[in-house]
Homo-oligomer: A and B are copies of this chain.
Amino acid sequence: MILCDIGNSFYHFYKEGKVWKEPVGGMPSLVDNERIFTVSVNADALDRLSRKYDVVDLSNELPFDTEYIGLGADRAFACYAANDGVVVDAGSAITVDIMQEGLHLGGFILPGISTFVESYAKISKRLDVGFNMSVNLDALPQNTKDAISYGAMIAIVGAIKEASRNKFIYFTGGDGKFLSRFFENRSAVDDTLIFKGMMKLIREREFVC
């Protein structure tokens, strides 16, 4: 059994504790005849994978308690795994979802870190100065590079802190580990959160692997 989270840019695979990714532009090369369970926000990429492999798409199978209209399947599965707390998936966009004992209370979306940096560069050439990954949020910036790095990080970190209050925070996605550094306690980095949600559903619904 292989699990696959299909995003805008990558097929994210999981098999027996191992995770890897392949661009959605190409066709992943996998051992034939192995069933692939998918969660997808990319219909085209799912369709292409399904033509070559034995795919069971779980995207619409989740019994998920929310009033949110249009929640991506990836967000829903990560929240389903977390069950309680805040789920932060940090990629080109950063989704922040609040769970309370299995109930999804709502969520919001921030631009991802790379999106912030690109947006500064587009405003003015003077702001196209790169990003200081080791910016310190405890000291006010004294130059342009620090000013945009501090601005991006205090915006992202502040928004997540405001929303999380004292809840436990699960960080996932490409920038999850970097973001987690700004949160001392009550947080964890888990790159397999979506896959854990998929496995939870597969067990509960007794899907044939």
Contacts and interface: CB of A to CB of B under 8 A. Distances in A.
Interface of A: 8, 41, 66-70, 72, 92-96, 98, 105-112, 115-116, 118-120, 122-124, 126-127, 139-144, 146-148, 150-152, 154-156, 158-159, 161-163
Copies in the complex: 2
Given A70-B144, A155-B155, 6 more contacts: A70-B126, A92-B124, A108-B140, A115-B122, A116-B119, A118-B122
B159 A154 contact: yes
B140 A98 contact: yes
Given A115-B119, A155-B155, A163-B154, A127 B142 contact: no
A197 to B, nearest CB: 20
Nearest to A110: B151
27 contacts: A68-B143, A69-B142, A72-B126, A92-B123, A93-B123, A93-B124, A93-B127, A94-B151, A95-B147, A108-B146, A108-B147, A108-B148, A108-B150, A108-B154, A109-B144, A109-B147, A110-B152, A111-B111, A111-B151, A118-B119, A119-B119, A154-B158, A154-B162, A154-B163, A155-B155, A155-B158, A158-B159
Nearest to A91: B123
Contacts of A96: 151
A120 B110 CA distance: 8
A112 B123 contact: yes
Given A93-B127, A143-B68, A159-B158, A151 B108 contact: yes
